[in-house]
Chain A
Amino acid sequence: MMTVAYEMSQLEMLEAEAVHIIREVAATIEKPAMLFSGGKDSVVMLHLAMKAFWPAPVPFPVMHVDTGQNFDEVIEFRDRTVEKYGLWLMVGSVQDDIDAGRVHEEYPGAPRNRLQTVTLLRGIRENGFGAVFGGARRDEEKARAKERVFSFRDGFGQWDPRNQRPELWNLYNGRHRKGENIRAFPLSNWTELDVWSYIRDENIELPPLYYAHRREVVERDGMLLAVNPFIQPTESEHPFDATVRFRTIGDATCTGCVESSAATPEDVVVEVAAARLTERGATRADDRISEAGMEDRKKEGYF
């Protein structure tokens, strides 16, 4: 008997699944939008969207929920990417919501990750988005491990983890009424290592922060934080120069970096494969709030 190996590698399977999900949203849900922050997961997701509709352009806009507390390199990268691919970018500004009194900062310069929820929900409502793609992965966090690929949000943008729609085979139910919406997660089954292996194989450009560079940092709560306009050393802290890179990029006030000499995607793949801490545990102060920190934020409507 003739045997031909019709087999797919792990990354080929994950890519096919993500492309299927992205096409399914575009085919079945009116007015989708894709979240794009310039972070590695959203860059990979956008790359997959470009591939899914080739040779046509991506048939939906991208949206950035901007905390106003950013790393300059990331905003520069975001704008350059949008320009290069001729995408339509919409920016939802957390600062606008603060100025309008819709949300309140706990104190000036506090992390604004949680505040993003209000801005995100306003962006969805005002634009009438029926679906929003997010780059969240189930391996990131234990509440996310429970989430569907097509995740239903009620009229208040909220997630009810105990009452999720059954999701079987590759049949995704994106039906919803006006005012409700679907969050779609094409990278659900990817791990941090898969994302980096894919970045390496596909030669995907990222903001330079993801690779080793020299930078002034300060140690706080066991994390290394970059000294920038939002993070200033206190009197008892001693800033120093180190060779670091970021494993995740979020609000500049609460995203830590790690000491690393990984200068290329290949180096990072090796480093991630050997890592003994999760990316969020290592570098995200916002996830350390409590054991159910993410579950609570997600119920409110967070990414």
Chain B
Amino acid sequence: MSALLRIATAGSVDDGKSTLIGRLLYDSKAIFEDQLSAVERTSRARGQDIPDLALLTDGLRAEREQGITIDVAYRYFATPKRKFIIADTPGHIQYTRNMVTGASTADVALILIDARNGVLEQSRRHAFLATLLGIPHLIVCINKMDLVGYSQQRFEEIREEFRRFAMKLEVNDVSFIPVSALTGDNVVQRSEAMPWYVGTSLLQQLEEIHVASDRNLIDPRFPVQYVIRPHQSSHAQLHDFRGYAGTVAGGVLREGDEVTALPSGFTTRVSKIWAPGGRALKEAFAGQAVTIELADDIDIARGDLLCRPHNRPHVGQDLDAMLCWMSSNTQLSPGGRYTIQHTTRATRGVVHELDYRLDVNTLHRDESASGLGLNEIGRIRLRTQQPLLFDPYRRSRETGSFILIDDATNNTVAAGMITGPTRHDAMVVWHSGSVRRTERATQGMTVWLTGLSGSGKSTVAAELERRLVASGRPAYLLDGDNLRHGLNADLGFGAGDRAENVRRVGEVAKLLADAGLIAIVSLVSPYAADRARVRGSHSAASLPFLEIFVDTPLEVCEARDPKGMYAKARGGEIKQFTGIDDPYEAPETPHLRLRPEDGDAATQAALVLDLIERITL
């Protein structure tokens, strides 16, 4: 377990955010006596009976005077299990940029909802921003439970409402806790007032949340930050030392690994890896600051990047990105020129086009927008003077993020998250249909069944299709095996072809869903990243996407072996068979998990049907 957890909190003062943090600090004994007595003094001076714990976090004079949080404040506390850094961010819409700042490095977002008010516009905004910034875990604290009589029903209503909204977002992990920051219920200690809540307290969740796997350990990326050349040193053996210092942005690099330097494209080998201060390392992984020596003397400077020859980032000058505008003095408009800072590389860039401005409250896209003002978010197309070496933000926060700097003022005016290279198909004009989705007779969605071969996906899917059609809902089954006879007949079973297979099926499902059908997909789709992409493209098109994990254990699938495939794989006749010699990456947070003990295919199909009905209500 990682010893350090970075948390971003979002909510307004009215939601009790500062009080909640004060409570966390106070009950975990992270507040010192002199800090507390200062708070007590100030509270008394204002005529408050109980210490106002919000005063612990509002650090600036103006914040204390106005009783609001203006800027991000960082708070530190530790329990015997781990250390926490809280980026306490203001919740009001006029401080969106501050929230984005605090969220940029967070592992967990805490979202506060006032139990009396339920899911408000701003709760939706906070959840959206947290997912836009790629925070992997979301904890929704439904606060002020003491003011709704600790009602389980109220808690569940809010939870369902939030879930319905969250389905449109790319959230992997959401949990809900009923709390009262004022009284401390479920903050550090489990509440006695809410015996119906069987989960853990907020602090316990924070202590146990697993974040190590959120880092990208797959794609080796090393942006060179600084070249160390002690050539004037009196030590003869240091005379030829040439070390590339930097922080590993992704993956693992080992001594002896072949690496390619970009943008030059020269390939060489890692000869030595040094930790700061000169401790030799066998390997370096994401997050470590190291110095790397290479076998060949090739010309590498700050801003260049080392990667593996067969795992490279995109290299290009045209890219698409989501942009959060942060300047109050100027507007972003197409044609604007800025300095772009991306990893350790800085170059100039011009914003070619603003595709749309996003209403962060409703997620509505305004394609007629001509600019972005303070706190506004939109999608842009950017062209840079020098090529950038980038990955989509979704894949890597480190190589997918950038800032724009205004050359006239030197101010940071925008934060950007790269969605990908500008695709040539993006140059083809998209024809918006003249029929709006809401005008169609039915609203579509995609129901995606993933699981091992032989898990029973197709049986459940067929049963589901039968029941939907019987009840008058238009539905269509896309079966992975069947599609390989036509649409995907040109694809094999290597990792690349599998990814393309999933992408195509995802696109077809999206078209059907857009047309108002319930697209049922039955596909092994073993890799989490491929499924996440399909989920993302549905989310981008505002179409519901349900991930159903048909969780039948491998032994059971193998015993069934309906097509004799497992026997062939075991016998070595088939290579790279999922579950045998190729991994199946199980969904961590599917919308629904079907296990054999849930019943037969008909019962399982009924469970899926229930879920569909709940979200279409």
Question: Could you list which residues of chain A lie within 8 angstroms of chain B, going by C-beta atoms?
Answer: 1, 5-10, 12-17, 19-20, 23-24, 26-27, 48, 50-57, 138-139, 142-143, 145-146, 161-162, 164-171, 173, 175-177, 188-189, 191, 193-194, 275-278, 281-282, 291-292, 295
Query: A52 near B34 (CB under 8 angstroms)?
Result: no
- With a cutoff of 8 Å between Cβ atoms, the chain A residues found around residue B97 in the complex are 166
Which among B72, B212, B233 is the interface contact of A5 at CB below 8 angstroms? B212
Shortest distance in angstroms between B102's beta carbon and chain A's nearest beta carbon? 9
Which among B3, B104, B233, B405 is the interface contact of A173 at CB below 8 angstroms? B405
Query: A173 near B341 (CB under 8 angstroms)?
Result: yes
Query: B2 near A165 (CB under 8 angstroms)?
Result: no
Instruction: Across the interface, name the chain B residue whose C-beta is closest to A139.
Output: B76
CA distance A191 to B76 in the complex (A): 7
Which among B74, B98, B278 is the interface contact of A55 at CB below 8 angstroms? B278
Instruction: Across the interface, name the chain B residue whose C-beta is closest to A193.
Output: B78
CA distance A138 to B401 in the complex (A): 25
Residue-wise, chain B 567-587 has the 8 Å CB interface mask toward A (1 for contact) of: 000000000000000010000
Query: B2 near A167 (CB under 8 angstroms)?
Result: no
B59 in the interface (beta carbon within 8 A): yes
B556 in the interface (beta carbon within 8 A): no
Asked whether A145 and B42 contact (CB < 8 A) given A7-B212, A173-B403, the answer is no
B60 in the interface (beta carbon within 8 A): yes
Within 8 A of A (CB), among B51-68: 56-62, 64
- With a cutoff of 8 Å between Cβ atoms, the chain B residues found around residue A54 in the complex are 228, 274, 276-278, 291
Q: Which 5 A-B pairs have the closest CB atoms?
A: A281-B34, A142-B59, A51-B277, A56-B230, A51-B276
B287 in the interface (beta carbon within 8 A): yes
CA distance A219 to B350 in the complex (A): 64
Query: B225 near A168 (CB under 8 angstroms)?
Result: no
Asked whether A52 and B75 contact (CB < 8 A) given A162-B60, A173-B410, the answer is no
CA distance A168 to B229 in the complex (A): 30
- With a cutoff of 8 Å between Cβ atoms, the chain A residues found around residue B226 in the complex are 23, 26-27
Instruction: Across the interface, name the chain B residue whose C-beta is closest to A8.
Output: B287
Query: B104 near A56 (CB under 8 angstroms)?
Result: no
Query: A19 near B289 (CB under 8 angstroms)?
Result: yes
Which among A24, A27, A146 is the interface contact of B59 at CB below 8 angstroms? A146
B523 in the interface (beta carbon within 8 A): no
Instruction: Across the interface, name the chain A residue whose C-beta is closest to B291.
Output: A54
B142 in the interface (beta carbon within 8 A): no
- With a cutoff of 8 Å between Cβ atoms, the chain A residues found around residue B274 in the complex are 54
Query: B34 near A56 (CB under 8 angstroms)?
Result: no
Which among A161, A164, A165, A189 is the interface contact of B74 at CB below 8 angstroms? A189
Within 8 A of A (CB), among B235-287: 235, 238, 241, 243, 245-247, 252, 274, 276-278, 285-287
Which among B2, B235, B241 is the interface contact of A7 at CB below 8 angstroms? B2
CA distance A35 to B217 in the complex (A): 37
Query: A171 near B60 (CB under 8 angstroms)?
Result: no
Query: A166 near B410 (CB under 8 angstroms)?
Result: no
Asked whether A57 and B32 contact (CB < 8 A) given A162-B70, A171-B401, the answer is no
B189 in the interface (beta carbon within 8 A): no
CA distance A161 to B61 in the complex (A): 10
Interface size class of B (residues with CB under 8 A): 35 or more
- With a cutoff of 8 Å between Cβ atoms, the chain B residues found around residue A138 in the complex are 74, 76
- With a cutoff of 8 Å between Cβ atoms, the chain A residues found around residue B402 in the complex are 171
16 pairs from A and B in contact (CB 8 Å cutoff)? A8-B4, A15-B276, A24-B344, A51-B277, A54-B274, A54-B291, A57-B233, A142-B58, A143-B59, A145-B59, A145-B75, A166-B98, A166-B403, A170-B247, A291-B38, A295-B61
Instruction: Across the interface, name the chain A residue whose C-beta is closest to B32.
Output: A278
Query: B3 near A9 (CB under 8 angstroms)?
Result: yes
B163 in the interface (beta carbon within 8 A): no
Query: A1 near B583 (CB under 8 angstroms)?
Result: yes
Shortest distance in angstroms between B168's beta carbon and chain A's nearest beta carbon? 25
CA distance A17 to B247 in the complex (A): 9
Within 8 A of A (CB), among B319-333: 326
Shortest distance in angstroms between A247's beta carbon and chain B's nearest beta carbon? 12
- With a cutoff of 8 Å between Cβ atoms, the chain A residues found around residue B76 in the complex are 138-139, 189, 191
CA distance A20 to B217 in the complex (A): 19
Shortest distance in angstroms between B325's beta carbon and chain A's nearest beta carbon? 11
Shortest distance in angstroms between B504's beta carbon and chain A's nearest beta carbon? 27
Query: B412 near A173 (CB under 8 angstroms)?
Result: yes
Instruction: Across the interface, name the chain B residue whose C-beta is closest to A287.
Output: B34
B105 in the interface (beta carbon within 8 A): yes
CA distance A191 to B78 in the complex (A): 10
Instruction: Across the interface, name the chain A residue whose C-beta is closest to B251.
Output: A6
Query: B401 near A169 (CB under 8 angstroms)?
Result: yes
Query: B410 near A161 (CB under 8 angstroms)?
Result: no
CA distance A19 to B228 in the complex (A): 14
CA distance A259 to B344 in the complex (A): 48
B288 in the interface (beta carbon within 8 A): yes
- With a cutoff of 8 Å between Cβ atoms, the chain B residues found around residue A277 in the complex are 32-34
Query: A16 near B403 (CB under 8 angstroms)?
Result: no
CA distance A17 to B100 in the complex (A): 20
Shortest distance in angstroms between A102's beta carbon and chain B's nearest beta carbon? 28
Instruction: Across the interface, name the chain B residue whose C-beta is closest to A290.
Output: B61
Shortest distance in angstroms between B436's beta carbon and chain A's nearest beta carbon? 36
- With a cutoff of 8 Å between Cβ atoms, the chain A residues found around residue B71 in the complex are 146, 161-162, 164
B83 in the interface (beta carbon within 8 A): yes
Known contacts A16-B289, A189-B76, A291-B38, then 15 further A-B pairs from the complex at CB < 8 Å, ordered by chain A residue? A6-B286, A8-B3, A23-B246, A54-B276, A55-B278, A56-B229, A143-B59, A166-B97, A168-B104, A168-B403, A168-B412, A169-B104, A173-B411, A175-B410, A281-B35
- With a cutoff of 8 Å between Cβ atoms, the chain A residues found around residue B225 in the complex are 20, 23-24, 27
- With a cutoff of 8 Å between Cβ atoms, the chain A residues found around residue B75 in the complex are 139, 145
CA distance A8 to B246 in the complex (A): 17
B512 in the interface (beta carbon within 8 A): no
Asked whether A145 and B73 contact (CB < 8 A) given A16-B289, A23-B226, the answer is yes
- With a cutoff of 8 Å between Cβ atoms, the chain A residues found around residue B412 in the complex are 165-168, 173
CA distance A266 to B85 in the complex (A): 24
B171 in the interface (beta carbon within 8 A): no
- With a cutoff of 8 Å between Cβ atoms, the chain A residues found around residue B277 in the complex are 50-51, 54
Query: A276 near B32 (CB under 8 angstroms)?
Result: yes
B308 in the interface (beta carbon within 8 A): no
Query: A146 near B341 (CB under 8 angstroms)?
Result: no
- With a cutoff of 8 Å between Cβ atoms, the chain A residues found around residue B35 in the complex are 278, 281
Query: A16 near B247 (CB under 8 angstroms)?
Result: yes
Shortest distance in angstroms between A183's beta carbon and chain B's nearest beta carbon? 15
- With a cutoff of 8 Å between Cβ atoms, the chain B residues found around residue A51 in the complex are 276-278
Query: A55 near B233 (CB under 8 angstroms)?
Result: yes
Shortest distance in angstroms between A282's beta carbon and chain B's nearest beta carbon? 7
Instruction: Across the interface, name the chain B residue whose C-beta is closest to A48.
Output: B276
- With a cutoff of 8 Å between Cβ atoms, the chain A residues found around residue B59 in the complex are 142-143, 145-146, 295
CA distance A24 to B597 in the complex (A): 56
CA distance A54 to B278 in the complex (A): 6
Asked whether A291 and B64 contact (CB < 8 A) given A27-B226, A276-B32, A278-B34, the answer is yes
Instruction: Across the interface, name the chain B residue whose C-beta is closest to A173.
Output: B412
Query: A168 near B247 (CB under 8 angstroms)?
Result: no
Query: A275 near B32 (CB under 8 angstroms)?
Result: yes
CA distance A116 to B546 in the complex (A): 62
Within 8 A of A (CB), among B71-91: 71-76, 78, 82-83, 85
Which among A26, A53, A146, A176 is the interface contact of B60 at CB below 8 angstroms? A146
CA distance A1 to B215 in the complex (A): 17
Query: B276 near A19 (CB under 8 angstroms)?
Result: yes
Query: A146 near B72 (CB under 8 angstroms)?
Result: yes
Shortest distance in angstroms between A212's beta carbon and chain B's nearest beta carbon? 21
Asked whether A189 and B85 contact (CB < 8 A) given A27-B226, A145-B74, A162-B70, the answer is yes
Within 8 A of A (CB), among B402-445: 402-403, 405, 410-412, 415
Shortest distance in angstroms between B94's beta carbon and chain A's nearest beta carbon? 13
- With a cutoff of 8 Å between Cβ atoms, the chain A residues found around residue B38 in the complex are 291
Instruction: Across the interface, name the chain A residue whose C-beta is closest to B83.
Output: A10
